Amino acid sequence: MKTVFTIIGLLIATVSFGQTNNFNGKINSDEVKISDLNISVTVDSAEEVESTFNMRDIKELLDETEADEAITFEIICNGNIMSNGKKSTLSYKVTGTKEEARNFLKSVKKIRKAAIKYYKNKE
């Protein structure tokens, strides 16, 4: 039994130390680029919708993106438990770019209002 552990230990040591670490690249951390921005918010009540995000937050995120980058905003509203035991959900989603910022923000505002209205009508 002692020889089995010795052989396994030597095998692990050989494999561990036998691998080379060749790093021949230069990493530049000064430039950060966002290629696609996807925002997904899951909420359970109208109060959560109101407290989770506001339009200023979305505007700040838009300011950090490039003009041709795709931006997606989605809000998922959790509902009541259905007869099959799963929660019902309702989701709203809008996609745009920074070039269409005004229309994108209008759509996000409509989605936010629709989610609040969804929970108000459920009560």
| Location of structure tokens 């039994």 | 1
- Cβ pair 73, 105 in contact under 8 A: no
Closest CA to 109 of 122, 96, 34, 121: 96
What is the overall mean pLDDT for the chain? 81
Split at pLDDT 50, 70, 90, the class of 6 is confident
**pLDDT at residue 34, rounded to an integer:** 66
Please give the average per-residue pLDDT across 83-110, as a whole number.
88
- Residue spans per domain, the chain: 36-122
How many angstroms separate the CA atoms of 62 and 91, rounded?
21
